[in-house]
Amino acid sequence: MIGKPVKGPAYQALNIDDVKLPTDHPHPLVRRLFSFWAPTTATLRGWALAAVVANAGITVSGAVVRVTGSGLGCPTWPRCTPDSFIPVAHPEVSPINMAIEFGNRLVTFLVLVIGLACWVAAMRLRPRRASLVKLAWLQPIGIAAQALWGGVVVSTLLNPFTVGMHFLLSIGLTAACWALYARAGEGDAPVRRVVHRDVRRLGHALLAAVFALLVMGVLVTGTGPHSGDELASRFDLDIETVARLHADIAYLVVGLTFALLFALHVTDSPRSARRAALALLGIELLQGVIGYVQYFLGVPAVLVALHVIGATVVWIFTLRAVTALRTRDPAGPGASPSPTEAAATA
Ligand code: HEM
C-beta of residue 25 within 8 angstroms of C-beta of residue 34? yes
Is residue 244 scored above 60 in pLDDT? Answer: yes
Q: What is the mean pLDDT of the chain?
A: 91
The pLDDT confidence band at residue 67, using thresholds 50, 70 and 90, is very high
How large is the angle between the packed helices 95-124 and 160-184, nearest 10 degrees?
30
10, pLDDT greater than 60 = no
Q: Ligand 1 center to residue 169 CA distance, Å?
A: 17
CA of 311, closest atom in ligand 1:
5
- At 230 the three-state DSSP class reads coil
Domain boundaries, the chain: 32-185, 189-331
**What is the percent of the chain where pLDDT is above 90?**
81
Contact between 114 and 176 (Cβ < 8 Å): no
| Per-residue model confidence (pLDDT) at position 25 | 79
Give the model's confidence band at 18: pLDDT under 50 very low, under 70 low, under 90 confident, else very high: low
Residue 29's pLDDT is what? 85
Q: Which residues line ligand 1 (CB under 6 A)?
A: 63, 167, 213-214, 217-218, 220-221, 224, 226, 243, 246-247, 250, 253, 284, 287-288, 291-292, 294-295, 299, 304, 307-308, 311, 314
Please tell me the distance from the alpha carbon of residue 147 to that of residue 149, in angstroms, as a whole number.
5
Instruction: Give 253's pLDDT tier (boundaries 50, 70, 90).
Output: very high
Q: Sorting pLDDT into bands at 50, 70 and 90, what band is 17?
A: low
Ligand 1 centre from 285 Cα, in Å?
13
pLDDT at 92: 85
